[in-house]
Amino acid sequence: MCLCKIASQFKVGGEVLSVEPYGNGHINTTYVAVVNVDNVNRRFIMQKINTTVFPRVGELMDNISNVTRFMANIVKDNGGNPEREILTVVPTVDGKTFYTDDKGDNYRLYIFIEGTTALQIVEDPRVFEGAGCAFGGFVSVLNAYPASSLYEVIYNFHNTASRFQNFINAVDADKVARADSVRHEIDFVLRRAGICDKIVNMLADKSLPLRVTHNDTKLNNVLLDDKTGEPVCVIDLDTIMPGSLLYDFGDAIRSGCNTGLEDEPDLSKVSFDINLYESFAKGYLAAIGASITIAERDMLAFGSILMTFECGMRFLTDYLDGDNYFKIHHPMHNIDRCRTQFKMVSDMENLQDEMNEIARRYCSI
């Protein structure tokens, strides 16, 4: 079935004129569909869902559609524009949240949010503060949503204790005889074994609240208004799951506060930028307001360290396993990635007291 016919299986309100590839996403295949609606061309985002990563498409789309509907109602009640501020899932002609073609491929459709741009790197602290505002607002709007009702679309995604066990298994198996060459990195992880289960355990004993988490809080998942530069909408909701806001805050810091590239081999170019940390924390804490708990506030710095550590450990695990998960461009790619994360961890550990003070300074509780 051609792409235009697939797009026409959704309630687009007119004739589908074209469907073309769009963007540079790494997981799903994304297109822009142009539809003539009452003699006006309107755009939609159509995606073929990667069922290797997300095999349970029904659960995935239930999460997204239920959460976006909840958020849209709140935005509407507050006088906002849900079709601009929240991703809108367009149903199929028979009322479903996704369409399965005759090949078994699964597609979904969103309203295109015009006049916005997603940036790939942090070039202006004010933009990063805006991203903090967007992700903090995301948590605040969903504060009352029953997080436990969400499906876990990727099991143990940020269960650092489980990730640590995978690492130990990879070290013990040493399938491609690489452990001796990265003994320094292995020891780096082993010295921090005691931190791996801290958030998991605090969620279990309810000393940290279970929340709706985004789980991919990179800058490019916030659409910014082309004219004002202000944040408009948080996108890429595939990994919405129950978890801790520390996962989201920490991953944003991990990806946004590195002065170098994620795979920079020259570690002298890699450091943790605490000024960017302050910018993001300022925006995040202003937007989340009183929705945050004191326990969460006091662990924002720790969450940043743990998420960066977890990411580096995953790169190291994949290297030990033979580079089967992350796409690599040269034999040492995963180790270069691992080392940048561990350099960031070391920097943050040295600055943890200052990071905690920043959180207390901007927190309203």
Give the residue ranges of DSSP H helices in 221-297: 245-256, 274-288, 294-297
Give the residue ranges of DSSP H helices in the chain: 3-7, 57-77, 82-85, 125-141, 160-173, 183-190, 198-204, 245-256, 274-288, 294-297, 300-321, 333-350, 352-362
Q: Which amino acid is at 59?
A: E
Please give the domain boundaries of the chain with CATH numbers for all domains.
3-114 (3.30.200.20), 125-362 (3.90.1200.10)
Q: Hey, is 172 helix, strand or coil? A: helix
CB 342, CB 305: distance < 8 Å = no
Instruction: Give per-residue pLDDT as tens, 292-336.
Output: 999 999 999 999 999 999 999 999 999 999 999 888 999 999 999
Instruction: Give per-residue pLDDT as tens, 113-169.
Output: 999 999 988 888 899 999 999 999 999 999 999 999 999 999 999 999 999 999 999
Section 175-196 average pLDDT: 98
pLDDT at 82 over 80: yes
Section 176-205 average pLDDT: 97
Confidence band (pLDDT; 50, 70, 90) for 251?
very high
Instruction: Give per-residue pLDDT as tens, 92-104.
Output: 999 999 999 999 9
Average pLDDT of the chain to the nearest whole number: 96
pLDDT at position 99 is: 98
pTM value is 0.93
User: 65 is written with which tokens?
Assistant: 């559609």
CB 254, CB 344: distance < 8 Å = yes
Question: What gap in Å lies between CA 306 and CA 147, rounded to an integer?
Answer: 22
Section 103-107 average pLDDT: 96
> Do the bridges between strand 116-117 and strand 241-243 make them parallel or antiparallel, or are there none, so unpaired?
unpaired
Confidence band (pLDDT; 50, 70, 90) for 1?
low
Instruction: Give per-residue pLDDT as tens, 28-46.
Output: 999 999 999 999 999 999 9
Question: What gap in Å lies between CA 170 and CA 174, rounded to an integer?
Answer: 6
pLDDT at position 264 is: 96
pLDDT at position 365 is: 82
